[in-house]
Amino acid sequence: MNLDLDDRERAFRDEARAWLAEHVPASPLPNMDTAEGFEAHREWEAVLAAGRWSVVSWPAAYLGRDASLLEWVLFEEEYYRAGGPARVAQNGISLLAPILFEYGTPEQRERYLRPMADGTEIWAQAWSEPEAGSDLAALRATAARDEARGGWVLNGQKTWSSRAAFAHRGFGLFRSDPSARRHKGLTYFLFPLDAEGVTVRPIPKLDGHPGFAEIFFEDVFVPDADVLGAPGDGWRVAMSTAGNERGLSLRAPGRFCAAADRLLTLWKERGAGSAALGERVADAWIAAQAYRLYTFATLARIERGESVGADGSVNKIFWSELDVRLHETALALLGAEAELRGAGAPCDGAWMDGYLFALSGPIYAGTNEIQRNIVAERVLGLPRGDR
């Protein structure tokens, strides 16, 4: 792949850099897993959308810029380099929207994409269940047909639902044909979290804030208009979502490259006396650059018409473990001061906050143990293990 940018790509990057320099908040927003922070981040999504920087790769009709995948990566690099806030709309724009473009009806795209892009409606991912997390096909929440009302009745429980504590809507799989095999008879639904029969119970994360929630469904009616894809075809639709989550779109390299640059700065300020820590900083920086180049290689494959497929699992393992290493090295550089939080703490406690979040990376989007099984069987062709 030619890594030299053409005139259009340089202009796009320069425009993004200038806009971000003018608009990125000077001070960090409150934690988005609080009521105050959630609203502050929604307001930031509206600012991004007003500048048409919220969903750059989407069509212009839905507040995008028709940007190429390379331009999207360039924007992400500029976004994280500028210190842009975490994206509260990420579940919608990164996980659900690609599926809406592929499987959604024109009415669904018209109804949901623009409010998703400008932060009017925030979506929660509602996949995992108490006994069906990484083994998604084991889910037990049900959808029963209601011919009289033209829709479905949902019952059951979802858990570890990201953003659900404050979000407006959710998307998830339900078993609509209990007689079918594990991966069959599943249907993908969109639903409001304030619907009659829905109960949302927040779950605090390590930092004490409700980054997740349990969702309970008791005879919740969902019309046919909110079925995504064909009834019974939910597994195929969901796997498209999983591919996005584990592969390219959830974790652009800009995030890790920006963190590696901040780590290098921290090393120059705090760690110059330790050769061992210096080697860890160098390794982390090199790994971030390697991930960036791997992403460009993936872009080249997609442009040739190839699919990412099971290689997305390689991607997911790499970025999630890199994120942990980056933050562990920063905490080692800070020593005991890493324990401090809030105003007056080094970097306002951002490295510790980032570390606590990074610990979840090897778990969410399908645990890394599951990803290694996929790599072993589908990439390397090794025999299926005992499980």
241 has pLDDT over 80: no
Higher pLDDT: 15 or 236? It is: 15
Catalytic residue among 45, 71, 77, 245: 245
- Tens digits of residue pLDDT in 29-65: 999 999 999 999 999 999 999 999 999 999 999 999 9
Tell me what pLDDT residue 133 has: 65
The distance between the two most distant Cα atoms of the chain, rounded to a whole number of Å, is 74
* Angle, helix 234-246 to helix 311-334, in steps of 10 degrees: 40
Kindly list the distances between the CA atom of residue 76 and the CA atoms of 39, 66, 212, 228, 327, in Å, as whole numbers in the listed order: 22, 15, 25, 28, 20
Higher model confidence: residue 294 or residue 23?
23
Tokens of 60: 């212009």
Highest mean pLDDT among 95-99, 127-131, 297-301: 95-99
Q: Do residues 123 and 92 touch, judged by C-beta distance below 8 A?
A: yes
Q: What is the pLDDT of residue 250?
A: 55
For the whole prediction, is pTM greater than 0.95?
no
Higher pLDDT, 39 or 298: 39
What are the tokens at 359?
Answer: 């610990």
Paired strand residues for 192: 169
The arithmetic mean of pLDDT across residues 190-205, rounded, is 96
245 carries an active-site annotation = yes
